[in-house]
Structure 1
Amino acid sequence: MSAAFVPQAVAAALGITARPQQPLADAVRERLAEGRWLLVIDNCEHVLDAVSQFVTELCAACPGLVVLATSLERLGSSEERVITAPPLALISPETGKAKGSEAVTLFLDRARAIEPHLDPDPALVGEVCARLDGVPLAIELAAARCASLGIDGVLTALDDRMRLLKGARGSAERHRSLRAVIDWSHELLDDEERAVFRRVALFWGGFDLDAATAVAGDAAASRAAIADIVGRLADKNLLAHRRGPTSRWHLLEIVRVYAGELLAASGEEAEIRARHLRWAAGIAQRIEQRMVAGGDWREEFDVVVDDLRAALHQLTPEPEHAVVHQLACALGHLAYTRSYLAEAQVHYETAAVHTSGRAKVAALRSAAHVAFAQMRSDSAFELLRDAADRAAAANDPAAEAIALASAVVLGARCPGSFPEAPSEELLGELLARAQRVADDSPVVLAHIAAAKAWTACPVRARCDGPLGEEAPAAAQRVGDDALISAALDGVTTAALGDGRFRKAAMLADRRLRLLDRFARHDPAIGGEVGDIFHMVTETAIASGNLPAARIAAARAATDSIGQGVPMLAHSRLALTDALRGSFAEALVEAGEMVSAWRRAGKPTAGWMAPAQYAAAMVCGLTGDHTDMRMWSARALELTKDPKVQGFAHFVECRVALHDGRLDDALAIAEQLPAEYLGKFDAYARAIAAECAVVEDRADEGRAELAELGCPAPVA
């Protein structure tokens, strides 16, 4: 495991998956911040700096957490309490002799596990243990030889082999002794055993027989021959056997490091690493094929993923390395489907580095899709522009036009998820370039139609009505579900913009039905899944169908993609619960929403303001006007969009009526502008009508309600 994947390993142990806009380290801190936890991190020495920083941050944020870390070196954390694991005692306090000591007891236990009737002279065993400095692993390795060499043979071998390793790292005596024992064990191997031993050092997560044959076997070595050698190494305690449906073996970490040094000095490291890379690419592609076919794949992926990562990132091969590209693409696809979104994007970008032409364009587009699924629109936008430039260099105008049109749609459709949204001028330039290079193929025309529809409307994040109607038809002709979803989103925003809430809700439900058709492993649909849940909830709220909104919000919170944006899921739940009168639940969701937003780095999130106004309403209706002002102020900091301010008027007027402040309610209602206020317009108009009725102006109230074109919201 590389240092970059320390949080990933801890998250996997805790059952935590990646979430867009929330680093895995933050997700781990969130899980461990509550309750009491003991986190065990074993064999830290190869990622010492990364573990030290991660553990220090965890302990600072999680008061109930205790971390037990094992390492050949101390972590160096200021909060660290070092407990050394000294060599085993060589003298028994009861007998005053070697007999009965910790070291002798361990030796006899391990030796008798191989030869149950073994009864060596305790004094000689004590001498062996003393020569081994009481180091447990050294004692275990020596005990494994006792059955075949006898205790006197073990002593003789120690006389010949007890020496320091050349270039051994670390100065602690027990480390030098341990290396000496492993060196001695290695010297007892024959040439075949030595070759396999050093070659399997490349396996981080263990290996099965097929993997050993592919990486450690010579051209003439059969699977049966490798099985025999692996078995002999296991018998000699240099490999540990893991029983299961498929037998697997692994090296203890210190033994793996030792074997790796032998491999580096052998002159064959480059060739063996190339074999490991080819094996990793083959296994990744095989698992990928099974995943696409709908078979069971997760368990095997979880077993080999560390080796796939190591094979990909421990090499620095020449550019345009075909096998690296194959592995990176497969690993990116698998990581995405496993919900490791940030990791998947990195792998796709790596794939792009190691290929050219159309394959590079495809890898960049896949990376952009994963970035969009994480709501990282700025990253996705730049990746799409890069893909367009690479397509132009490869003389592929169709791919260039599609990448450009996709970038235009993203910039016009999702301005709220950019730190600084692309300018209209830039989007216009990109669209013009796309139209210049576009051919008349249906798929290119469908992308161009979508880009034109999203940029024709002067209001950002809203699609032009007439042009928007053309885009779904073009997408349907192509049969691209992601493109169909995006085109329907355009028509939905146009309906919302015109105040046709029921129409918008109907279109959003049509998008929802696409979920059953989506290939959920396809990165191209990840961003669409999250947006579908968002728009189904939004349109149901706008049309007053609060039960449907609550169902959609709850479903989004449990979806594999929807879980990746927790602040969005919590905001929808808070808003619907508040409007339905589930006040306690609404405040809990609002609090979780703010916490998730802060963990994500407080991104631009004007869409979160309605939920904050809803929390303000709950506080006002329950008599907590201090918190009402706090929530309202937070919402106003996020956005001053008039469409959202219409909902703010509703909240203030609703609370004023509840408090019996009719004059205040009427004054607020009179501030409502005559023009359309956006998707929350029905709520603002309904409260104005209610004010008129309360003031005994029933005719005006009925007129207000008639203008809404939809029934009052239903809880």
Structure 2
Amino acid sequence: MSKQPATAGVSPRESEILALVGEHRTNAEIGARLFISVRTVETHVSSLLRKLGAADRRGLADLAARLARPAQAPAVLPVPLSPFVGRAGERAALRAAVTGHRQVTAVGPGGVGKTRLVLAVAADLAGAFPDGVWFVDLVPVTDPAMVVAAVAAALGVGEQQGRGLDDAVPAALADRRALLVLDNCEHLADGVAPFVERLLARCPRVSVLATSRARLMVPFEWVYPVPPLSLDGESDAVALFRDRAAAVGWTVEDAQAEQVADLCRKLDGVALAIELAAARLPALGLDGLVAGLDDHLRLLVGGYRADDRHRSVRAMLDWSQALLSGDDLALLRRVAVFVAPFTAPAAAAVAGFGPLRPGHVVDGLARLADQSLLGVTASAGGTRYRMPETIRQYGFEQLTAAEEEEVAPGRHLDWCRAAAEELAGAMGEGWRVRFDAVADDLRAALSWAAGRPDRRADAHRLALLLGRLAFDRNLIGESQSRYEQAAALTGDPGALRQAASVAACRMRGDDAYRLWRAAAEAAGDTPAAARDLATAATTWFRKAGAFAHRPPRDEPAALLTRARELAGDDPAAHAAIALADCAAAGYAFFAERSADAASWMTGLAGRAVDLARALGDPLAEGAALFALTGAQRQAGDEVAAAATAGRRVELLDPVELTPAVADELIDALLIATATSIGTGDLVAARRWGRRLRDLPLLAEAGHVATSRILMADALAGHSDDVIAASGRFLDGWTAAGRPAARNFGPAAAAVAMVHDLRGDRAARDEWLAVLDRMGVTTEERAGYGPAFAAIALLHHGEPALARDRLAAPGAWRTGILMHWHVALRVEAAVLAGDPEAADLLAETRPAVAGNPIAGALLDRAAALLAGDRDGIRATAAAFAAAGCPYQQERTLLLAGGS
């Protein structure tokens, strides 16, 4: 239960009702939740409107949401392991900058203390951002295109079918007053800048605080240069040194204060350099620190290493490096190839080559951690080591000096490829955790290899593996891009086909069509190209609703012409062409809708099935069965269509879930659920719907499966289940950005009917308004709307209105509820005393053969017409057996019960 608002004059019961209004519950839902009548709820809502001065229910819901919102969302920030020292002036100045500007970049050299300052300021400002302060570490990200994925991971936002992360992240923050902290942006400016611009344009109450070594160069950016720690008097730099020295058990005496101040000046006030210097006190003492640092600074004057970006930190790191053994130096630079936390075995595989002594890696990692050059983290997968980014970049540069700039990254690439191979072959428990632990290294290794012609084959293999792993991890946007990257590396048409299938799973018709055509081009003048061209044409027809900009109508015909030229004697090519012909025929049927056209379509589809079955390819046969299902439905044979749809699911079910199979299986389950509803097999419909709901690929788009289950439950009479699931469905559709979704029209109409049956006309009208927001036209509603409306009209004792509503011609003749429609029309005619009811009953029976619920409706209508109460009661058992308790109860009522 939501937090109860403490509002003067509002009773405890009214507080409960107000909280549920804030959750957008209907009066019926509130009554059911609180075990009170709908009329009592209406009375309390009227009282709340008066007491709280709200204009209407929407205003009351907004007020409830504000009252129930916690005073402050928690700040999702890393917890520093050491205290923040000094910088009072900088802290106040940066705080004021963030308060006055929506995008602030804290700029300064590596190690100057940007991250610690920003974390302190973000914590200070947490109260000003009631919807949260979110921290995103961009260090592990090597690809600018993955910035949005890193932000999404920090926010807990996932990709949804038909909607990528570029839209999901702004949608999640659209109405939030939140602060997003982006740390270490310098290597990703090409990705961060456009992301921030899109985010701020779409989220007017969001602010961004970034750290970078250089400006992001966007027009709305407010730059705050982070200076070194103050060096005058008892400065911030000296205070930091004292604090960190105390942490390692060393007390700086007052007599040493000037010497410490001198050391801090030589370190240019760079916080990281000061901290690492203080950590060496137990080993070297203050005199040793000063002497060693002086020597190294002199070596760096005027050379390549005296660049503005790294001068102070490089001096400190050169000095720190001089204190390491030769083996530790080699280990430090070699493990710098890891961009994410790594294990000791991983380090041994990458860094364990000569002249590093065997067995040195584990001990060496411990020594590097003791000297603050590595961080240590305990995790479920064992101890992991992480190198701070500044040190990692320094170490990576040292590979060149040691002439290992190809060897170490090459071994890292080999390790990443082996790790990816292992992940691809072992999808058991903990797989996702293992993938997440190495994903950033896989991406970094791929980026390195892709730029080297001699490693292009390795890059191609790793891109393919990462495409598959990302798909299995439900990162389907990245999966598509990795397959496309693999294709770009070698011109591999197979990679383009995989990318096209992933695009289809994402409901990206434009991309799927483009990629199938690109695969054909890459395949050359071959039968394989014929298959690709035919599949592109099929995509044009089958994925019509998934195109943002559909190509011209004449393009598929041209593709099929060229496919026939290239097919030769290849059976797979001819099967693909036959499938495309079926898709084109189905598209043309809507213009003709004749019995001859339906028969011709069925013949085409049968031939497509025969050709696909001869290939022994379940995927091809499944696609052909889709065509046959459609042809059977257009011919009016709903029972055969349902059987074919079920056979298609059973065929695909045991096949490994590749992108192509996943696309086909999702479609198969959707159609199997729909055809089962149409033929009155509600038990099967619920079974298929649950299977669809449980597919991992739809984890972020559960409303797709819920839409079918809603229909089945509404027709069965499970009204409580419908009310509960309708909220989840609406939340999922809203989270997806409320896209135009005509396929969801039957679900919304079903929920509206349930509210109508429960007597809640206001809720019914709200759900009919949802149909409008989904972009469902009046003509499209005619396929199912009359049947839902008639059930409610009959329930309320208005058979004449139900008969008139069902008598109108329209799309219901080929709609999903055609059997239900004609059977309900007979019942309405009987109850309305229509003199033609008997004739209508006789002519309807053949049309619904094989549908147990429609058949029982006709049996009940016949008994009603004959005045046979025993006959009426006898049909109750048929409804019970068919899983339709609503019609079972209605039967008893029509037989004279209460």
Structure 2 residue 616 is matched with structure 1 residue 479: yes
Structure 1 residue 505: Cα displacement: 2.3
Give the corresponding residue for 1:159: 294
Question: Residue deviations 1:525-568, cap 9 Å, x none?
Answer: 12012112211221122122334334433432331123354553
Cα pair 2:538 2:580 within 8 Å, conserved: yes
Query: Equivalent of 2:284, from 149, 154, 165?
Result: 149
Distance of 2:251 and 2:272 partners within structure 1: 21
Shift of 1:353: 1.2
Q: Does 2:540 correspond to 1:408?
A: no
- CA shift, 1:179, in A, is 4.4
Q: Which residues in structure 2 correspond to 1:84-163 (within 5 Å)?
A: 87=229, 103-110=241-248, 112=249, 121=253, 123-124=255-256, 127-128=259-260, 131-132=263-264, 136-162=271-297
Match 2:665 to one of 521, 525, 529: 529
Query: In 2, distance between residues paired with 1:92 and 1:333?
Result: 58
Give the alignment's Cα RMSD to 1 decimal: 4.2
Query: 1:601-626 deviations in whole A, cap 9, x for unaligned?
Result: x35x4323323433444565521275
Q: Deviation per CA, 1:175-231, whole angstroms, max 9, x where unpaired?
A: 864443223213434555445434433321133445445555656545435556545
The correspondence for 1:307, drawn from 441, 463, 469, is: 441
Q: Kindly indicate whether the alpha-carbon contact (under 8 Å) linking 2:341 and 2:386 is maintained by their aligned counterparts in 1.
A: yes
**2:749, 2:768 within 8 Å by CA — same for their partners in 1?**
no
Q: Which residue of 2 aligns with 1:426?
A: 555
| Cα deviation 1:277-326 (Å, max 9, x = unaligned) | 444334323332334xx686433321111111122235533499211111
Partner residue, 2:875:
none
Determine whether 1:683 maps to 2:827. no
5+ long unaligned stretches in structure 1:
113-117
**Do the aligned partners of 1:18 and 1:339 also contact (CA within 8 Å) in 2?**
yes
Assess if the C-alpha contact under 8 Å between 1:35 and 1:64 holds in 2.
yes
Q: Is the CA contact 2:567–2:573 (under 8 Å) kept in the aligned structure 1?
A: yes
Specify the code of the residue in structure 2 equivalent to 1:109: A
Q: Name the structure 1 match of 2:747.
A: 611
Distance in 2 separating the partners of 1:704 and 1:585: 39
The two structures have a TM-score, normalised by structure 2, of: 0.67
How far residue 40 of structure 1 moved from its aligned partner, in angstroms, is: 6.7
1:695 pairs with 2:832? yes
In the TM superposition, what whole-angstrom CA distance separates every residue of 1:228-261 from its partner, at most 9, and x where no partner exists? 6545433433233445555543211222233345
Which residue matches 1:384?
516
Task: Please give the residue correspondences for 1:541-560 in structure 2 after superposition, counting only pairs within 5 Å.
Answer: 541-560=677-696
Match of 1:373 in 2: 505
Partner of residue 518, structure 1: 655
Provide the secondary structure at the position in 2 that maps to 1:561: helix
> Quick check: 2:168–2:736 contact (8 Å CA) kept in 1?
no
Flag the 1:235–1:126 CA change in 2: closer, same or farther, 3 A. farther
Cα displacement (A) at 1:406: 2.4
Name the residue aligned to 1:708. Answer: 848
- Residue from 598, 614, 623 that aligns with 2:737: 598
Q: Note closer, same or farther for the CA distance 1:674–1:452 as it changes in structure 2 (3 Å cut).
A: closer
Letter in 2 for 1:532: A
Instruction: Decide which structure has the larger Cα Rg and report it.
Output: 2
SS in 2 for 1:487: helix
- Paired with 1:259 and 1:674, the residues of 2 have a C-alpha distance of 69
Match of residue 650, structure 1, among 787, 792, 811: 787
Letter in structure 1 aligned against 2:510: D
1:492 aligned to 2:603? no
d(CA) in 1 for partners of 2:823, 2:208 = 56
Q: Distance in 1 between matches of 2:425 and 2:383?
A: 23
Distance 1:557 1:170, change over 3 A: farther
Give distance in 2, aligned partners of 1:120 and 1:648. 83
State the number of aligned residues. 688
- Give the TM-score normalised by the residue count of structure 1: 0.82
Match of 1:288 among 420, 424, 427: 424
8 Å CA contact 1:686, 1:704 repeated in 2? no
| Alpha-carbon distance between aligned partners in 2 of 1:363 and 1:415, rounded to the nearest angstrom | 24
Paired residue secondary structure (1:249): strand
Identity of aligned residues (%): 35
Deviation at 1:391, TM superposition (A): 1.4
Secondary structure, counterpart of 1:206 in structure 2: coil
Query: What displacement does 1:335 show?
Result: 0.9
- The CA distance in 2 between the partners of 1:664 and 1:516, in whole Å, is 45
Q: What corresponds to 2:99 in structure 1?
A: none
- For structure 2, list consecutive stretches of 5 or more residues without a partner in the other structure: 1-140, 592-597, 855-883, 886-898
Provide Cα deviations, 1:34-74, integer angstroms capped at 9, x if missing partner. Answer: 99999775544544675576568768878998988666679
Aligned to 1:468: 605
Single out whichever of 263-272 and 500-509 deviates more from structure 2.
Answer: 263-272
**Do the aligned partners of residues 594 and 221 (structure 1) sit closer, same or farther apart at CA in structure 2, a change above 3 Å counting?**
closer
Distance 1:512 1:39 in 2: 44
**Residue 146 of structure 1 contacts residue 154 of structure 1 at CA under 8 Å; is this kept in 2?**
yes
**Aligned pairs (5 A) from 1:4-403:** 4-13=145-154, 16-28=157-169, 42-47=183-188, 50=191, 87=229, 103-110=241-248, 112=249, 121=253, 123-124=255-256, 127-128=259-260, 131-132=263-264, 136-162=271-297, 177-189=312-324, 193-209=328-344, 211-212=346-347, 215-216=350-351, 221=356, 223-227=358-362, 229-243=364-378, 245-263=381-399, 269=405, 272-291=408-427, 297-314=431-448, 315-318=450-453, 321-356=456-491, 360-392=492-524, 397-403=526-532
Partner of 2:874: none
Give the 3-state SS of the residue equivalent to 1:20 in structure 2: coil
Q: Would the aligned equivalents of 2:161 and 2:698 in 1 still touch at CA under 8 Å? A: no
CA distance in 2, matches of 1:193, 1:593: 53
Q: Indicate conservation of the 8 Å contact 2:160/2:736, yes or no.
A: no
Give the corresponding residue for 2:769. 630
3-state SS, counterpart of residue 524 of structure 2: helix
Q: 2:630 & 2:765 partners in 1: Cα distance?
A: 36
In the alignment, the residues of structure 1 paired with residue 732 and residue 432 of structure 2 have an alpha-carbon distance, to the nearest angstrom, of 31
Structure 1 residues 320 and 708, CA, compared in 2 at 3 Å: closer, same or farther?
Answer: farther
- The answer for the alignment partner of 2:144 in structure 1 is 3
Amino acid at match of 1:708: V
**CA gap 1:190/1:440 in 2 versus in 1, 3 angstroms:** same
Alignment correspondent of 1:588: 727
Answer whether contact 1:616 1:631 (CA < 8 A) is retained.
no
Cα–Cα, structure 1 residues 223 and 696, in superposed 2: closer, same or farther, change >3 Å? Answer: farther
SS at match of 2:359: helix
Per-residue CA shift, 1:676-701, capped at 9, x if unaligned? 33322123323322321221234256
Matched-pair contact (CA < 8 Å) for 1:290–1:296: no
Q: Map 1:665-684 onto structure 2 (within 5 A).
A: 665-673=802-810, 676-684=813-821
- Alignment partners' CA distance in 1, 2:678 and 2:692: 18
| Cα deviation, residue 398, structure 1 | 3.3
For 2:579, the equivalent position in structure 1 comes to: 450
Paired with 2:488 and 2:284, the residues of 1 have a C-alpha distance of: 54
Counterpart-to-counterpart distance in 2, 1:194 and 1:667: 88
Distance 1:675 1:60 in 2: 44
Instruction: Provide closer, same or farther for how the CA distance between residues 675 and 34 of structure 1 changes in structure 2, counting only shifts above 3 A.
Output: closer
Task: Describe the shift of the 1:59–1:417 C-alpha distance in structure 2 as closer, same or farther (beyond 3 A).
Answer: closer
Deviation at 1:365, TM superposition (A): 0.9
Measured in 2, the distance between the counterparts of 1:681 and 1:407 equals 32
* CA displacement at 1:674 relative to structure 2: 10
- CA 1:74–1:665: 2 relative to 1, 3 Å: same
Q: Name the SS for the 2:507 alignment partner.
A: coil
2:461 & 2:367 partners in 1: Cα distance? Answer: 35
Task: Tell me the residue number matched to 1:459.
Answer: 589
Conserved 8 A contact 1:197-1:233: yes
